[in-house]
Structure 1
Amino acid sequence: MKKLLALALAAGFSLSAFAAPETFVIDGNHTYPRFEYSHFGYSTQVGRFDKTSGKIVIDRAAKTGSVDVTIDTKSVDSGNDTFNSHLQGADFFDTAKYPTISYKSTKFNFSGDKLASVEGNLTVKGVTKPVTLEVTSFHCAPHPMLKREACGANAVAKIKRTEFNAGKYAPAVSDDVTLTFAIESIKE
Structure 2
Amino acid sequence: MKKLIAFVATAAAMMTALSAHAAPETYVIDNSHTFARFSYSHLGFSTQESRFNNTTGKIKLDRAAKTGSVDVTIDTKSVNTGSDLFNSHIQGADFFDTAKYPTITYKSTKFNFNGDTLASVDGNLTIKGITKPVQLTVTSFKCMPHPMAKKDACGANATATIKRSEFNAGKYAPNVSDDVQLTFSIEAIKE
For the superposition of Structure 1 and Structure 2, which TM-score range results when normalised by the shorter chain?
A: over 0.9
Aligned match of 1:70: 73
Aligned match of 2:25: 22
Deviation at 1:18, TM superposition (A): 1.6
Task: Spell out, residue by residue over 1:31-71, the C-alpha distance to the aligned partner (whole angstroms, 9 max, x if none).
Answer: 00000000000000000000000001111111110010000
Task: Spell out, residue by residue over 1:76-123, the C-alpha distance to the aligned partner (whole angstroms, 9 max, x if none).
Answer: 000100100011110000001000000000111111111000000000
Segments of structure 1 that go 5 or more residues without pairing to the other structure are: none
Q: TM-score, normalised by structure 2?
A: 0.93
Structure 2 CA distance, aligned partners of 1:94 and 1:16?
49
Aligned match of 2:86: 83
Deviation at 1:6, TM superposition (A): 6.5
Structure 2 CA distance, aligned partners of 1:55 and 1:8?
37
Task: Spell out, residue by residue over 1:6-41, the C-alpha distance to the aligned partner (whole angstroms, 9 max, x if none).
Answer: 677555533331222111000000000000000000
Q: TM-score, normalised by structure 1?
A: 0.94
Give the number of the structure whose alpha-carbon radius of gyration is greater.
Answer: 2
Structure 2 CA distance, aligned partners of 1:72 and 1:13?
44
Aligned match of 1:110: 113
Deviation at 1:137, TM superposition (A): 0.2
Segments of structure 2 that go 5 or more residues without pairing to the other structure are: none
- Pairing 1:56–2:59 present: yes
Q: Matched residue of 1:29: which SS? A: helix
Structure 1 CA distance, aligned partners of 2:8 and 2:116?
31
- Counterpart residue identity of residue 92, structure 1: F
Aligned match of 1:148: 151
Q: Matched residue of 1:167: which SS? A: coil
Greater displacement, 9-18 / 89-98: 9-18
- Percent pairwise identity: 71
Structure 2 CA distance, aligned partners of 1:8 and 1:180?
48
Structure 2 CA distance, aligned partners of 1:8 and 1:28?
46
- Counterpart residue identity of residue 41, structure 1: G
- Counterpart residue identity of residue 99, structure 2: A
